[in-house]
Amino acid sequence: MSRQELLSPEGLRVDGRRANELRRISCRASVLNSADGSSYYEQGNTKVLVAVYGPREPRTKSLAQHDHAAVNVEFNVAPFSTSERRKRSKGDKRLLEIASFVKQTFQGAIQTAVYPRSQIDIYIHLLQHDGGTLETCINAATLALVDAGISMVDYVCACTAGFIDETPVLDLNFVEESSIETPDLTVAVLPRSGNIALLQMESRLHSSKLEDVLELATEGCKHIHKKLDQAVLEAANELAKKLS
Amino acid sequence: MEIDEAPQKVDIAARIVTPGTAITNDPAFMRGHGTFSEHDTIYSSVAGVVERINKLVSVRPLKQRYSGEIGDIIVGRITEVASKRWRVDVNSRQDGVLLLSSINLPGGIQRRKSESDELQMRTFFAEGDLVFAEVQSYFADGALSLHTRSIQYGKLRNGTLVTAFPQLVPRSRSHFHTLPCGVDVVLGVNGYIWVSKHVPASKVEANAELIYSDKNEPISDDEREVIARVANCIQLLNRMYVKITDTSIIFAYDASVAHPVKDLLKHDVAVELAHNVMAYLEQQG
């Protein structure tokens, strides 16, 4: 089987983007009534729904910590999210891994010390899968947490970048991601300080190339930050107008 | 963003900020809720409106769970019966606590609560019961301590609960209203609102056993419909983000009479009614 061409000689990718272009992002906060905060987030064809409950009384006493809130993340993939229908069990290691990544990422950003003896639940549902699961989950969760009015030091913005034919490429889709030769790096940053909250890669990449790829991904994060901030401001302005 | 060059001239309040936005780096300001400081600059930690009281800068989030203040009148749901206390869900970040010593016993006699009272705590409040209470104090960990030591507080019966955003229910002089349509409404500032059949206070006062009774009064179909209509009106005000007060409920109720109860929450009807209510409230000033 011949190798699929991921980057044409003209510098275009399989979906027609250039190497440094993000997919189209559209997002909305406050989409659910019963949750304290919620968001719907699309990045290209990857679609995620997030509900945040809390800070609230911990479901079990053992979770209560006297000096900070416990953060609980659950990640679920809809059976219809891929072209091949597939039901995953709740204990699927892949799902638990992503949930724990999201949890680790937000533990640094949420001011958990403000909410002692409480619990913050983040429920993430992947509705449609087209690559970049972790980045979309983190971005959507940020939006839902801000919507819930939970104190955070900063937004957390995540982006992926890969390396195809000696060129760093931004925001891989499913086709690019599943090619074996493409290393794919996910980075989550706190845009104000530029601190990195998460850096994850499962494939091999020459160390001299890492810096370029990381820089491109960070650039993507800044772009996503603008998008998220815009969505939050829009929602806030609307609410403030109604309240006044 | 450059608000720092002339802090006297530019008012930092009433600005809408998002998490991580620098509010001021003037060292004269103190940071309040919804903010944090880093390198002598005060940043916002939530999305909301900047408020300033003298030198205290805080950010009020536009959506948040209820955070209690002493003297608040709230509606809560009993979640657990523990030793000498009940735990109460008050829509806050922690359950509130209602101590056995801060309730009135039937009969109205003031006395120390004995061991037999401890054993029959479930006859006063059981899990799932709704209570109308006032915030008495805080515990060291920030949990609210409630009390029901007044004839108007106590167990709620004969009605339905509506949950609203806590910031839509303003603190006011009175939170218990008898509406002209013959329905009692308890506006808990924690966002829990109880809509029930009107029962004259004298009736409860006359029979002390009624305070902790689990039995509803007989409610006719017409009364049920009025309760449902008021509940739906509150629900639609909540969805459209309109302040929930006795005036707004009464007006929404009067405006809703043209529609059947079940249609009130349909989007177009809700939008129309909410617009009417907002216009009316603006007119009233």
Report the chain A residue with the minimal C-alpha distance to residue B282.
A244
Report the chain B residue with the minimal C-alpha distance to residue A70.
B93
A239 touches chain B (CB under 8 A): yes
A16 within some domain: no
Distance from CA of B127 to the nearest CA of A (A): 16
Per-residue pLDDT of chain B (285 residues; tens, 9 = 90+): 444 444 443 566 678 999 999 998 888 899 999 999 988 899 999 999 999 888 999 999 988 899 889 999 999 999 999 989 999 999 998 999 999 988 888 766 677 778 888 888 898 899 999 999 999 999 888 899 999 988 888 899 889 999 999 989 999 999 999 999 999 999 999 999 999 999 887 777 777 677 788 888 899 999 999 999 999 999 999 988 889 999 999 999 999 999 999 899 898 999 999 889 988 888 887
CB–CB contact B64 A66 (8 Å): no
Spatial separation of the C-alpha atoms in residues B284 and B278, rounded to whole Å: 10
Residue B29: give its domain's CATH number.
Answer: 2.40.50.100
Tell me what pLDDT residue A3 has: 63
Choose the mutation target among B94, B138, B168 for the interface with A, i.e. most A CBs under 10 Å: B94
A2 within some domain: no
**Which residues on A lie below 8 Å from B59 (Cβ)?**
none
Tell me what pLDDT residue A204 has: 87
Half-sphere exposure (CA, 13 Å, Cβ side) for B203? 5
Residue A47 has pLDDT above 70, yes or no: yes
Tell me what pLDDT residue B108 has: 65
Residues A151-178 have a mean pLDDT of: 91
B115 within some domain: no
**Which residues on A lie below 8 Å from B141 (Cβ)?**
66, 116-117
Half-sphere exposure (CA, 13 Å, Cβ side) for A21? 11
A242 touches chain B (CB under 8 A): yes
Structure tokens at B99: 């101590």
Report the chain B residue with the minimal C-alpha distance to residue A119.
B93
Choose the mutation target among B25, B35, B65, B91 for the interface with A, i.e. most A CBs under 10 Å: B65
Domain hosting A164: range is: 25-243
Structure tokens at A76: 């679920």
Report the chain A residue with the minimal C-alpha distance to residue B43.
A153
A5 within some domain: no
How much of chain A, in percent, has pLDDT values that exceed 70? 99
Tell me what pLDDT residue A2 has: 47
CB–CB contact A191 B20 (8 Å): yes
Residue A60: give its domain's CATH number.
Answer: 3.30.230.70
B118 within some domain: no
Which residue in B211, B157, B208, B210 sits closest to B186, CA to CA? B157
CB–CB contact B45 A54 (8 Å): no
B5 within some domain: no
In chain B, residues 83-142 whose CB comes closer than 8 Å to chain A: 87, 89, 93-95, 141-142
- Number of inter-chain CB pairs under 8 A, A vs B: 98
Residue B124 parent element (H or E): helix B121-124
B25 within some domain: yes
B128 within some domain: no
Distance from CA of B43 to the nearest CA of A (A): 8
CA B2 → CA B15, B50, B220, distances in Å? 13, 16, 63
Choose the mutation target among B37, B43, B63 for the interface with A, i.e. most A CBs under 10 Å: B63
Tell me what pLDDT residue A36 has: 92
Which of A57, A69, A152 minimises the CB distance to B19?
A: A152
User: Which distant-in-sequence residues (6+ apart) come within 8 Å of B152 by Cβ?
Assistant: B132, B176, B201
| A204 or B1, higher pLDDT | A204
How much of chain A, in percent, has pLDDT values that exceed 90? 60
B165 touches chain A (CB under 8 A): no
How many domains does one find in chain A? 1
**DSSP 8-state class, residue B157:** -
B182 within some domain: no
Tell me what pLDDT residue B5 has: 44
Report the chain B residue with the minimal C-alpha distance to residue A241.
B241
Distance from CA of B157 to the nearest CA of A (A): 24
A19 within some domain: no
B226 within some domain: no
CB–CB contact A151 B34 (8 Å): yes
A120 within some domain: yes
A53 touches chain B (CB under 8 A): no
Tell me what pLDDT residue B11 has: 61
Residue A1 has pLDDT above 60, yes or no: no
Strand partners, A37: A52
Tell me what pLDDT residue A120 has: 94
Q: Binning pLDDT at 50, 70 and 90, where does residue A144 land?
A: very high
Structure tokens at A53: 């409950």
B2 within some domain: no
Q: Binning pLDDT at 50, 70 and 90, where does residue A152 land?
A: very high
What does the pLDDT look like over A88-136, one tens digit per residue? 777 789 899 999 999 999 988 999 999 989 999 999 999 999 988 999 9
Report the interhelical angle of B246-256 vs B267-284 (nearest 10°): 130
Does the predicted interface ipTM exceed a cut of 0.95?
no
How many domains does one find in chain B? 1
Domain hosting B27: range is: 16-61
